[in-house]
Amino acid sequence: MAPLLLLCGPKHSGKTCAGLALREILGCDFVDVDALIEEREGVSARTLYRLKGPEFFQQAEARAIVSIMGRAGEGGALIAAAGGGLIDNEAAMNAVTGGGRVVIVYLEVSAAVAWRRIEEEARDGGGLPAFLDAENPKEAHAALHERRAAAYKERAHITIDAEEKTPRQLARQIAGQIAIQLTGSVHAGEPFYRNGLRFSCKRCSACCRAGPGFVFLSKADLLSISLKLDMKPDEFIQVYCRWVDWDGGARLSLKEKTSLDCVFWKDGCLIYEARPIQCRTYPFWESMLDSEEVWKCTTEGCPGAGSGNLLSGEYIESCMELERSTRILTKKDLGYEWRI
């Protein structure tokens, strides 16, 4: 593995949380670039940007990157999470792209999801970041996001879809991609799972507790869970669901508790027999079966994966197809507007 594994992506794409989870999997040290800037400059990265301006901030960011580059390789590999605007810092990018000592991992989220997370932070008292100081912040963000996304993907060695994934899931997928690079293995010919994989759900909660995420619902999910709870669908939506802004629309998802557990977790899944398609098809999602190495990482976080019943390749592919083809309910589908 290269001395430095650099996680990049837009603000709130999960870089720091994924980096911390990856540290546990790979056994590497981890550093957050913005935290290092704060330690060196005495104020947060956001405050530094506001007080001293973008040019001074980029100089501080470049110095922090050079410092991290100096540390990488001294005691083994190092994982670092960069700020969202690193791609616009020419001096910093020149430092990380020279010499082949860095693997750049881009965590990709849509502009809509990134904006929703920025708005949530602003509502919680953080305010909008200074780089969105514009007459129309949402439009400014969308334009900036798309430009940066294209630039990141051009420079990145690994691109990971970071939506709908917990930090642990992201970390496992990154580790799997790194394993592919190290071993030179490729996904060719018949899939590695053609002869089946072992899986038996242990109802352990590893996939539905203590981490942010979405459990999106189809029409079939809405009806089956409502029926199990003896509730009308509209009532069920009001009590147990939330609307998630997604690519300009609003998707229906189960709520989370303040602990980030699924709303239906209480010493076990309360609706297991009627659980959503998203849950029924786990862990046989395309992202979990990208390669044998990724699957091995999945088994580390899911006690049921890799053990129990041998399920056929045909069954696994049917789960993947069901997960791909399931239509998630939107406000437009339901024909009314609930407040988020």
Q: What is the pLDDT of residues 153-174, one digit of tens each?
A: 999 999 998 887 788 888 888 8
Same domain, 227 and 266: yes
pLDDT tens for 71-87 read 886 666 899 999 999 99
Residue 8 pairs with which residues in a beta bridge?
Answer: 106
Do 146 and 204 have their domain in common?
no
pLDDT digits (tens, 9 = 90+) for 213-269: 789 999 999 999 999 999 999 999 999 999 988 765 788 999 999 888 999 998 889
pLDDT band at 292 (very low <50, low <70, confident <90, very high): confident
* Domain-embedded: residue 189: no
What pLDDT does residue 236 have?
Answer: 96
Residues 204 and 142 in one domain: no
Which residues form the domain of 238?
Answer: 197-334
Q: Which two tokens stand for residue 258?
A: 């303040």
Long-range contacts of 333-337 (CB under 8 A, 24+ apart): 333/219, 334/237, 334/252
Q: What are phi and psi of 27, to 5 degrees?
A: 70, 30
User: Does 339 fall in a domain?
Assistant: no
The pLDDT, as a whole number, for residue 133 is 78
Q: Which of 168, 177, 13 is nearest to 87 (CA)?
A: 13
Based on the domain organization, do 165 and 219 belong to the same domain?
A: no
Residues 16 and 161 both lie in one domain = yes
Res 340: pLDDT: 32
Residues 291 and 168 in one domain: no
CB atoms within 10 A of CB 12: 18
Which pLDDT does position 287 carry in this prediction?
Answer: 80
The reply to whether 138 falls in a domain is: yes
Pair (171, 213) in one structural domain: no
Is 218:329 a contact under the CB 8 Å cutoff?
yes
Find the CATH number of the domain harbouring 137: 3.40.50.300
pLDDT at 231: 95
* Contact status, residue 273 vs residue 141, Cβ threshold 8 Å: no
39 and 169 inside one domain: yes
Residue 120 lies in a domain: yes
> 146 and 17 share a domain?
yes
Contacts 24+ apart (CB under 8 A), 241-247: 241/217, 242/340, 243/331, 243/338, 243/340, 244/116, 244/214, 244/216, 245/112, 245/113, 245/115, 245/116, 245/340, 246/110, 246/112, 246/113, 247/110, 247/112, 247/113
Residue 338 scores a pLDDT above 60: no
Check whether residue 9 and residue 34 sit in a common domain.
yes
Domain stops at, among 131, 151, 183: 183
Three-state DSSP at 160 gives strand
Q: Which of 14-23, 114-123, 310-319 has the lowest mean pLDDT?
A: 114-123
**Looking at 123, 153, 183, which one is the last position of a domain?**
183
State whether residue 92 is helix, strand or coil.
helix
Q: Which residue has the higher pLDDT, 221 or 101?
A: 221
Residues 178 and 207 in one domain: no
Same domain, 101 and 244: no
Q: Which of 187, 157, 212 is nearest to 295 (CA)?
A: 187
Per-residue pLDDT, 186: 46
Residue 340 forms part of a structural domain:
no
Contact call for residues 236 and 252 (beta carbons, < 8 A): no
188 in a structural domain: no
| Overall number of domains in the chain | 2
Give the CA diameter of the chain. 63
pLDDT at 163: 84
